[in-house]
């Protein structure tokens, strides 16, 4: 895998959906690439501005309006700069996209072309040979959607860099991430100092974040997962009228009401997507009602298939 293990030739691009993911996910890897004489960049997708509970707690206010949210985002952008300094990463290595927290899925749906272009601009300028981003199955919706966007940005590139994924939410399952980085010398304390710079996050979640930061960093290698086009879920019929199926491919994104989605039912009861001309194919289920629970229940999965899917030629061009 080019860029791995790290050396002076490693050009690492880290994808962080929020301030603190760069440290939690890749705080050791960033230090090790720099120590080896390699180069790093970080794409910070959002400023983490939609983060109401820590903000209510620290600012002693109940109502969070747009002005307060912008102020919080600016504070978190500042925190990430301080964290990177602790990791030895120059400020010029940070590429903030300035998107809003909890909006990566909406960006994927509403502006796929612009979102991919923002990522491609950094890929083309920096030419990384190693990209490290959130895992597809991370249960935070911004993380799963960030993975899909990066995969779609890399799809079709002539010389695509190697891709590793890190898991922040659902880390109890991380043992199946086989690539492991252990801290060397002062790297662990520096990672903890970087984490401490994310003061807004340490107030309410410090214990969980410190526990994550004290573990070795684990990564999984990401390749296209070839399946048979079947969805990994069989949602109960009672929910079907409220369910929506989100399908993302390089050709575009469609958000189908479940009852109108181009699904066929196999004899064993599983559901298969009828057609998607461009691969990879990512799917996610969501409910069409508001919920205070932000984490994904039927989060993003890849159902890429090499089999010609029935109806592919009709459905493919409609995507997007
Ligand atoms: Zn995050």
Model confidence at 25, pLDDT cuts 50, 70, 90, reads very high
Cα 159 to middle of ligand 1, angstroms: 28
Q: Is there a single domain that holds both residue 178 and residue 260?
A: no
Cα 21 to middle of ligand 1, angstroms: 5
Cα 237 to middle of ligand 1, angstroms: 33
- Torsion angles phi and psi, residue 185, rounded to 5: 50, -120
Cα 30 to middle of ligand 1, angstroms: 17
Please determine, for residue 308, whether its predicted confidence score (pLDDT) is greater than 70: no
Which spans in the chain are helix H?
Answer: 21-35, 52-59, 66-86, 104-110, 112-126, 141-154, 187-196, 199-214, 312-318
Q: Is there a single domain that holds both residue 257 and residue 159?
A: no
Q: Is there a single domain that holds both residue 47 and residue 168?
A: yes
Please determine, for residue 109, whether its predicted confidence score (pLDDT) is greater than 90: yes
Output 74 or 172, whichever has higher pLDDT: 74
Q: Is 230 among the domain residues? A: no
Q: Is 4 among the domain residues? A: no
Instruction: State residue 175's pLDDT score.
Output: 60
User: Pick from 123, 166, 191: which is nearest to 16 by CA?
Assistant: 166
Cα 139 to middle of ligand 1, angstroms: 10
Output 15 or 175, whichever has higher pLDDT: 15
Cα 192 to middle of ligand 1, angstroms: 17
Model confidence at 173, pLDDT cuts 50, 70, 90, reads low
Cα 278 to middle of ligand 1, angstroms: 28
Q: Is 2 among the domain residues? A: no
Instruction: State residue 311's pLDDT score.
Output: 46
Least confident of 16-20, 142-146, 206-210, 292-296: 292-296
Instruction: State residue 135's pLDDT score.
Output: 95
Q: Is there a single domain that holds both residue 212 and residue 245?
A: no
Instruction: State residue 69's pLDDT score.
Output: 87
Cα 126 to middle of ligand 1, angstroms: 23
Task: With beta carbons less than 8 A apart as the criterion, state whether 59 and 199 touch.
Answer: no
- What residues contact 175, with CB distance under 8 A and at least 6 apart? 218
Model confidence at 320, pLDDT cuts 50, 70, 90, reads very low
Instruction: State residue 283's pLDDT score.
Output: 94
On the CB side of 70, CA atoms within 13 Å amount to 3
Instruction: State residue 289's pLDDT score.
Output: 73
Distance CA 3, CA 131 (A): 9
Please determine, for residue 41, whether its predicted confidence score (pLDDT) is greater than 80: yes
Q: Is there a single domain that holds both residue 285 and residue 210?
A: no
Interhelix angle 21-35/187-196, rounded to 10 degrees, is 140
Cα 309 to middle of ligand 1, angstroms: 35
Q: Is 226 among the domain residues? A: no
Please determine, for residue 23, whether its predicted confidence score (pLDDT) is greater than 70: yes
Cα 92 to middle of ligand 1, angstroms: 21
Which residue has 């799963």 as its token pair? 144
Q: Is there a single domain that holds both residue 211 and residue 278?
A: no
Cα 275 to middle of ligand 1, angstroms: 32
Cα 264 to middle of ligand 1, angstroms: 35
Instruction: State residue 316's pLDDT score.
Output: 42
Out of 221, 253, 272, a domain closes at: 221
Give me the mean pLDDT over the 296-307 stretch: 82
Cα 16 to middle of ligand 1, angstroms: 7
Burial zone of 292 (CB within 10 Å; 0-12 exposed, 13-18 middle, 19+ buried): exposed
Domain extent for 154: 11-221
Cα 263 to middle of ligand 1, angstroms: 32
Please determine, for residue 72, whether its predicted confidence score (pLDDT) is greater than 90: no
Cα 55 to middle of ligand 1, angstroms: 16
Instruction: State residue 163's pLDDT score.
Output: 96
Model confidence at 312, pLDDT cuts 50, 70, 90, reads very low
Distance CA 262, CA 230 (A): 12
Task: With beta carbons less than 8 A apart as the criterion, state whether 316 and 277 touch.
Answer: yes
Cα 318 to middle of ligand 1, angstroms: 32
b/e code 195-204 from CB counts within 10 Å (16+ = b): bbbbbbbbee
* C-alpha distances in Å from residue 14, one per residue of 228, 260, 298: 31, 38, 26
Q: Is there a single domain that holds both residue 211 and residue 306?
A: no
Output 230 or 307, whichever has higher pLDDT: 230
Give me the mean pLDDT over the 55-67 stretch: 78
Cα 310 to middle of ligand 1, angstroms: 37
Cα 222 to middle of ligand 1, angstroms: 19
Output 126 or 49, whichever has higher pLDDT: 126
Q: Is there a single domain that holds both residue 243 and residue 207?
A: no
Beta bridge partners of 302: 282
Instruction: State residue 315's pLDDT score.
Output: 41
- Torsion angles phi and psi, residue 288, rounded to 5: -90, 45
Q: Is there a single domain that holds both residue 163 and residue 195?
A: yes
Cα 83 to middle of ligand 1, angstroms: 15
Out of 190, 221, 252, a domain closes at: 221
Q: Is there a single domain that holds both residue 206 and residue 297?
A: no
Q: Is 208 among the domain residues? A: yes
Cα 50 to middle of ligand 1, angstroms: 11
The whole-chain average pLDDT of the chain stands at 88
Q: Is there a single domain that holds both residue 181 and residue 244?
A: no
Which residue has 């230090």 as its token pair? 31
Give me the mean pLDDT over the 293-309 stretch: 77
Provide the greatest CA pair distance for the chain.
58
Q: Is there a single domain that holds both residue 119 and residue 180?
A: yes
Q: How many domains are there within the chain?
A: 2
Is the alpha carbon torsion for 169, 4, 13, 37 positive or negative? positive
Out of 221, 253, 283, a domain closes at: 221
Distance CA 215, CA 25 (A): 11
Q: Is 232 among the domain residues? A: no
Distance CA 130, CA 4 (A): 7
């Amino acid at each position: 895998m080019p860029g791995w293990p790290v050396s002076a030739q490693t050009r690492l691009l880290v994808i962080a959906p929020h301030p603190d993911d760069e440290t939690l996910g890749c705080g050791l890897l960033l230090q090790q690439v720099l120590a080896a004489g390699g180069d790093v960049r970080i794409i910070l997708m959002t400023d983490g501005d939609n983060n109401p509970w820590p903000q209510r707690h620290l600012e002693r206010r109940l109502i969070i309006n747009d002005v307060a949210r912008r102020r919080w985002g600016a504070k978190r952008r500042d925190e990430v700069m301080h964290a990177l300094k602790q990791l030895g990463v120059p400020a010029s290595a940070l590429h903030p996209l300035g998107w809003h927290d909890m909006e990566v899925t909406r960006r994927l749906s509403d502006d796929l072309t612009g979102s991919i272009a923002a990522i491609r601009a950094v890929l083309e300028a920096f030419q990384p040979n190693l990209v490290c981003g959130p895992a597809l199955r991370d249960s935070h919706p911004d993380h799963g959607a960030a993975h899909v966007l990066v995969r779609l940005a890399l799809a079709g590139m002539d010389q695509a860099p190697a891709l590793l994924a890190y898991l922040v939410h659902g880390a109890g399952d991380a043992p199946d991430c086989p690539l492991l980085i252990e801290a060397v010398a002062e790297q662990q304390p520096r990672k903890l100092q970087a984490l401490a710079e994310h003061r807004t996050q340490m107030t309410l979640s410090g214990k969980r974040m410190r526990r994550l930061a004290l573990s070795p960093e684990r990564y999984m290698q990401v390749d296209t997962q070839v399946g048979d086009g079947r969805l990994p879920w069989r949602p109960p019929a009672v929910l079907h009228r409220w369910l929506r199926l989100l399908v993302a491919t390089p050709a575009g994104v469609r958000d189908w009401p479940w009852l109108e989605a181009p699904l066929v039912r196999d004899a064993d009861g599983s559901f298969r997507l009828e057609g998607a001309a461009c691969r990879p194919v990512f799917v996610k289920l969501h409910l069409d009602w508001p919920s205070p629970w932000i984490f994904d229940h039927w989060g993003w999965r890849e159902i890429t298939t090499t089999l010609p899917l029935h109806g592919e030629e009709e459905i493919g061009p409609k995507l997007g």
